């Protein structure tokens, strides 16, 4: 698969966050619906200064000053170091990752859906019923809300975007059901959910022996018992979930402890450890009380809660108590013996690189705290479309490491072109026949397994993100 990657950067070392320009005073009130002349003047000044909305830094330089307050975008790939208390120096990486072809999924509305235009109380519905036909270019994500993993008899214009409805009303699924003389289902089959999440079949099941070991070790060869642990970094895996992030990073990291709040996820982790599919370690239930003072790990990290970061919420950032749990990653790192404080890693949604003030403050906090511990932060934003599935589920993977640290230099980073070539076919070992993607009856553990998949870090995305970001850390250059 052809891969093109180039490095670039710019030296726009302006110390201030935004160019300032005096506003014109007006005695008359501006007309409604239009900007005042003062706002227009400021926007022109921003454009003139090179920090306009959506403008990227000059690609001929080595980096740019990024402030906690401003409108300049963060790149998808890059490295950040502290310049001052309120600003960072960001080195962007210009890179083109190959993407799979668009989906062209044809969806046909049920004939009865166009009749319902009002709700039960007689008021007009906010989202009208889905009528006619349409075509999707990508799959939607599996989300934690149970309503999104079961079909609707009369989907709305918004509801047709839910993954289960996309499957139920797609022409391909309807044709597959007719071919096998099967009635279309109503609930998303957990096996299909695992297939679309890049997991081995049965991984989220609470039953022993649900995972085919032969297929598992083909998909994740670095999880084999005889895999070389000497070239991996031991870490405290916080916010572990069902272990998706740990599977994706299995080539580089191994957990010496898991920290996870969910009872169901802890049960999955224990079962998979008993089966020899996960590295054996203790499981702890609370990130707020975990103490790593006696641990032999060389770092800590995990995918901290995204509810205060995602665009599906208000995006309070560090003002959200769930986002504040990221502080415990740094706390646990600090409780490690001083000689073992060498590595940090984080994962969250793409909005963490956004322009909103709360997101900029959160990003600034992570860089400041990481740099304060002598580590340099590298990151990569990876989409499912980069790893073989036509879907828009972008995640950002951060890795903090000391420059020229031997344990990082010893990591066996995969060649990027080779990894992208392997990702050209999506989860081939765990394919599920299309007519079985939905089930007519709801499985007994349906809600628990769907909730796990909705919060999952897709292993293939984590693997590619680590390849790119750790490549930067090892080479001490802006590109792997």
Q: Which sequence positions are flagged as catalytic?
A: 306
Distance of CA 28 to the CA centre of its chain: 48
> What tokens appear for 239 in the block?
């916010």
> What tokens appear for 181 in the block?
């003389």
Phi, psi of 381 (to 5 degrees): -100, 120
Buried/exposed 270-288: b ≥16 CB within 10 Å, e otherwise: ebbbeeebbbebebbeebe
Whether the Cβ atoms of residue 416 and residue 77 lie closer than 8 Å to each other: no
Sign of torsion over alpha carbons 107, 112, 115, 120: negative
Q: Hey, what long-range contacts does 198-203 have (CB within 8 A, 24 or more apart)?
A: 198/387, 198/389, 198/426, 198/427, 198/458, 198/459, 198/460, 198/461, 199/244, 199/247, 199/427, 199/430, 199/453, 199/456, 199/459, 200/429, 200/430, 201/430, 201/432, 203/242, 203/268, 203/272
CA distances from 19 to 9, 242, 360 (A): 21, 47, 18
What is the rounded distance in angstroms from the CA atom of residue 178 to the CA atom of residue 403? Answer: 59
Q: Is 64 helix (H, G, I), strand (E, B) or coil?
A: strand
Distance of CA 373 to the CA centre of its chain: 25
> What burial class does residue 65 get, using C-beta atoms within 10 Å of its C-beta: 0-12 exposed, 13-18 middle, 19+ buried?
buried
Whether the Cβ atoms of residue 260 and residue 282 lie closer than 8 Å to each other: no
Single out the residue of 477, 386, 459, 19 nearest to residue 216, CA to CA. Answer: 459
What is the rounded distance in angstroms from the CA atom of residue 352 to the CA atom of residue 381? Answer: 10
For the residues of 343-387, what is the DSSP string, one character each?
EEEEEEEGGGGSSSHHHHHHHHHHHHHHHHTT-EEEEEEE-GGGT
> What tokens appear for 303 in the block?
């995918």
């Amino acid at each position: 698969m052809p891969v093109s990657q180039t490095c670039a950067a710019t030296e726009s070392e302006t110390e201030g966050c935004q160019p300032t320009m005096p506003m014109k005073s007006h005695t008359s009130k501006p007309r409604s619906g239009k900007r005042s002349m003062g706002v227009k003047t400021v926007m022109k000044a921003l454009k003139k200064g090179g920090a306009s909305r959506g403008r990227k830094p000059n690609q001929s330089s080595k980096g740019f000053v990024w402030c906690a307050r401003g409108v300049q975008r963060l790149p998808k790939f890059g490295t950040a170091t502290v310049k001052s208390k309120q600003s960072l120096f960001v080195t962007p990486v210009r890179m083109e990752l190959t993407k799979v072809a668009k989906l062209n999924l044809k969806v046909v509305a049920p004939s009865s859906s166009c009749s319902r235009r009002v709700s039960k109380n007689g008021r007009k519905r906010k989202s009208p019923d889905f009528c006619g036909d349409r075509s999707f270019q990508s799959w939607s994500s599996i989300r934690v809300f149970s309503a999104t993993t079961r079909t609707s008899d009369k989907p709305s214009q918004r509801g047709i975007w839910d993954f289960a409805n996309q499957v139920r009303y797609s022409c391909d699924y309807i044709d597959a059901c007719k071919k096998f003389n099967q009635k279309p289902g109503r609930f998303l089959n957990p096996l299909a959910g695992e297939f679309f999440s890049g997991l081995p079949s049965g991984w989220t099941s609470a039953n022993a022996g649900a995972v085919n070991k032969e297929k598992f070790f083909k998909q994740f060869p670095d999880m084999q018992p005889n895999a070389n642990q000497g070239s991996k970094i031991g870490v405290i895996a916080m916010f572990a979930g069902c272990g998706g992030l740990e599977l994706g990073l299995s080539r580089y990291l191994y957990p010496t402890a898991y920290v996870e709040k969910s009872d169901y996820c802890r049960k999955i982790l224990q079962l998979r450890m008993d089966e020899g599919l996960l590295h054996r370690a203790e499981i702890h239930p609370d990130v707020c009380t975990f103490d790593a003072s006696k641990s032999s790990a060389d770092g800590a990290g995990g995918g901290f809660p995204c509810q205060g970061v995602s665009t599906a919420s208000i995006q309070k950032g560090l003002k959200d108590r769930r986002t504040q749990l990221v502080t415990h990653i740094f706390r646990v790192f600090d409780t490690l013996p001083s000689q073992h404080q060498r590595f940090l890693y984080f994962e969250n949604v793409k909005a963490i690189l956004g322009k909103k003030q709360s997101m900029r403050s959160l990003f600034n906090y992570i860089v400041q705290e990481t740099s304060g511990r002598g580590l340099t932060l590298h990151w990569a934003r990876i989409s499912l479309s980069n790893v073989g599935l036509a879907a828009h589920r972008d995640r950002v993977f951060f890795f903090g490491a000391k420059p020229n640290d031997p344990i990082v230099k010893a990591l066996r980073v995969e060649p990027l072109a080779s990894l992208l070539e392997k990702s050209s076919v999506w989860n081939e070992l765990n394919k599920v026949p299309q007519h079985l993607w939905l089930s007519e009856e709801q499985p007994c553990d349906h809600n628990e397994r769907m909730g796990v998949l909705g919060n999952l870090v897709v292993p293939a995305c984590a693997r590619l993100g680590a390849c790119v970001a750790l490549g930067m850390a090892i080479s001490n250059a802006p590109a792997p």
